[in-house]
Amino acid sequence: MKVGFIGLGIMGKPMALHLINGGHTAYLFSRSGVAPELVAAKGIACNSPKEVAQQADVIITMVPDTPDVEKVLFGKDGIAEGLSADNGAGKIVVDMSSISPIETKKFAARIAELKCDYVDAPVSGGEVGAKNAALTIMCGGTEAAFAKVKPLFELMGKNITLVGGVGDGQTCKVANQIIVALNIEAVAEALLFASKAGADPAKVRLALMGGFANSRILEVHGERMVKRTFNPGFRIELHQKDLNLALSGARALGVSLPNTATAQELFNSCVAHGGAAWDHSAMVRALEMMANHEVAPG
């Protein structure tokens, strides 16, 4: 296929590379420029999202937040201009960012006016999952559009699910982020408790991994807490954004999410101490500050 990819950051760059290595012609755009390794792999650098949309049959976006998606889609020299100006009918726009389900439905309706399909396909798995082509991909859209783009998803991920109609993929991603945040908080509390009580948190983690408390969060993020490796795989500020979507959606639905709110407050504390760009496993630092004790002092 002729595939466009817009947004080549920590996640987007390896995802685009998998598509190129899978034999697809890739038209690329990033605000910060297209990485030399993508060009070396025969990716084609474009000057705007409009140009990407003009060239590609499937246009993928992977950018940080809802306003970023809106700008890429409908701003000056955006995707919509490329679709309307160059016989865009029948093309498919795929948003793999994590954004508002409500706004996603509005974006899809505007793209449909250009006689194009829209699939929302947010991902989970972080930088490691992106590099290893092991992402979980949660999709919303028609079965026909999903079937067309699924071969592309299979080059980037392993657990690929059509959840429902447009917007349902984003709703699923918000639910995912609730679970991840609360699991990080639970692991952080457990390791902090163990360390303060005098046990070796590294050994406690290994012991817990053999029991019912085991989880991917305990395995990966628990190790980060013990080793103090908080360079971002997924930044706190991005998880904050996702929990804002959860909490605002909950208000609209009349649902209470008390522990999600607590996790958000812990992220807020980290940001107040300069941690917006820390990995989200660094939520443990907020608890450590309250306890005046580090899980594993450096």
- pLDDT at residue 142 tops 80: yes
Residue 161, beta-bridge partner list: 138
Kindly state the percentage of the chain with pLDDT values over 90: 94
Catalytic residue among 13, 50, 173, 196, which?
Answer: 173
Q: What Cα–Cα distance (Å) separates residue 150 from each residue in 94, 187, 269?
A: 11, 34, 40
**pLDDT value, residue 126:** 86
Residue 29, beta-bridge partner list: 6
Strands 135-140 and 2-6: unpaired
Supply the DSSP symbol for 6.
Answer: E
Find out whether 263 and 247 touch, Cβ atoms under 8 Å.
no
- 173 part of the active site: yes
Q: What's this model's pTM, rounded to 2 decimal places?
A: 0.91
**pLDDT value, residue 14:** 97
- pLDDT at residue 21 tops 80: yes
- pLDDT at residue 298 tops 70: no
Confidence of residue 84 (pLDDT cuts 50, 70, 90): confident
Q: Which amino acid is at 31?
A: R
What token pair was written down for 265?
Answer: 């407050």
What mean pLDDT value characterizes the chain? Answer: 96
Rounded to an integer, the average pLDDT of 165-183 is 97
Rounded to an integer, the average pLDDT of 141-167 is 98
